Amino acid sequence: MAALERISEEKMQQYLAKVPQWQRSGNAITRIYQFPNFLMAMGFANAVAICAEAAQHHPDIAIFSWNKVKISIVTHGQGGLTENDFILASKIDAIQP
Amino acid sequence: MAALERISEEKMQQYLAKVPQWQRSGNAITRIYQFPNFLMAMGFANAVAICAEAAQHHPDIAIFSWNKVKISIVTHGQGGLTENDFILASKIDAIQP
């Protein structure tokens, strides 16, 4: 299966099981991270940005409530989740498990 | 008036007039900026972060849709807007008019 094809519901469950800290939210998967302070939250946001730029797949990154970061991944072009989205989630999990 | 006191509705209108590109949104003021690409959006987010850390006043920063940044400023402790919030908005406007 091409990494950019929208995946089936069955595949979705398999992939979600591999990134258990991510939640499905509509056409996206999201995870919220918490840090000791604002600067660490920004540092993580930048690490995600470097990873995203390398993959040419850019999630939404929200730094909020002073020390939290919410990542939302979706492949807009496909109108739903693809294998690529879960690959990016795994890479982000590798930055901050 | 202390910069950390919640401001009156009358003052609010005066302050909003000074930062005309910001919108009131509930207890916050927000502005959305657009950039040529993701890296420029992240660069701006970081410039805002440096400014925010220096002021010890941390807005929510959302990098979304690949090239947009939404800044939301609110003084949580006061349950509403204060002079400090508008000072931060002016500083951010100075980064990217």
Average of per-residue pLDDT across B9-36 = 95
**Residue B46, pLDDT above cutoff 90:** yes
> Between A and B, how many residue pairs show a Cβ–Cβ distance under 8 A?
46
Q: What residues in B contact A66, CB-CB < 8 Å? A: 58
Is the CB of residue B64 less than 8 Å away from at least one CB of chain A? Answer: yes
Is the CB of residue B51 less than 8 Å away from at least one CB of chain A? Answer: no
CB B88 within 8 A of CB B59: yes
Query: Per the confidence metrics, is the pTM higher than 0.90?
Result: yes
In A19-82, alpha helices (H): 38-55
Inter-chain residue contact A60 with B60, CB threshold 8 Å: no
Residue A65 Cα distances to A28, A57, A82, B39, angstroms: 22, 25, 30, 23
pLDDT the model gives residue B1: 45
Is the CB of residue B32 less than 8 Å away from at least one CB of chain A? Answer: no
User: Residue B1: is it exposed, middle or buried by C-beta count within 10 angstroms (0-12/13-18/19+)?
Assistant: exposed
Instruction: Give the pair of three-digit tokens for residue B7.
Output: 């401001």
Question: Which residues make beta-bridge pairs with B23?
Answer: B30
Inter-chain residue contact B42 with A46, CB threshold 8 Å: yes
Domain boundaries, chain A: 9-93
Which residue type occupies A43? G
Instruction: Give the pair of three-digit tokens for residue B75.
Output: 């003084």
Inter-chain residue contact B63 with A42, CB threshold 8 Å: no
DSSP class per residue in A79-96? TB-BHHHHHHHHHHHHH-
Is the CB of residue A58 less than 8 Å away from at least one CB of chain B? Answer: yes
Q: What is the pLDDT of residues A1-59, one digit of tens each?
A: 467 788 999 999 999 999 999 999 988 999 999 999 999 999 999 999 999 999 999 99
Element (H, E) at B85: helix B83-95
pLDDT the model gives residue B2: 63
pLDDT the model gives residue B79: 75
| Residue range A9-93, CATH number | 3.30.1360.20
ipTM, two decimals, is 0.93
| Max CA separation in chain A (angstroms) | 41
